[in-house]
Amino acid sequence: MRFVPQLFPEGEHFGLLAEYDSPGALVRACEHVRDAGYRKWDAHSPFPIHGIETAMGLGRSRLPYVALIFGLGGALGGMALQIWANAIAYPMVISGKPMFNWQPYVPITFECGVLLASLATVFGMFAFNKLPMLFHPLFGVEHFAKATDDGFFISVEAWDPKFDARATGELLSSTGARRVHLVRRREDAAP
């Protein structure tokens, strides 16, 4: 018997999964779920859908700020390392040039900034998306495999403050869902 890792709050159910026929139906359903006041839910699609982030009520991503902070930190660190190495630790006057001459330091400063910004972007994306997640309760739903091919889904999590299995199921059905499925937390549990 295998259980879902403790990535989610306690409870017998993960939530509800609703399937839709088209990207347009998914976007309209996202607007209804957003307007109903749900906060712990997600939309699943095999490809990006223009405007779905607005329909879901998502704000701006924090990832550009992480990349900016680490990029500036990398650039400052690269500049500081070169100043320390050339002017403090091993000072050598070559051809009468000053100890601090910023022009030769630009390439290394730029590369250190790019390196740290790119690493922060990759690892920040992993952290914000809670990856790697090797198992998710939605993977146990047979129809959810279509999310990588031609399926459009909304999942509402059971620990959303507004979640009520019956009322949420009715809301999802009223938005034009082809089917609504109650998702259990354990992958070996019967539907």
Looking at the predicted structure, is the pLDDT value of residue 113 above 70?
Answer: yes
Note the pLDDT tens digit of each residue in 25-54: 999 999 999 999 999 999 999 999 999 999
Q: What is the rounded average pLDDT of the residues 98-126? A: 94
> Who contacts 101 (Cβ-Cβ below 8 Å, separation ≥6)?
none
pTM to 2 decimal places: 0.76
Note the pLDDT tens digit of each residue in 155-182: 999 999 999 999 999 999 999 999 999 9
Residue length of the chain: 191
52-66, 121-135, 163-177: the lowest-pLDDT one: 121-135
Does residue 131 sit in helix, strand or coil?
Answer: coil
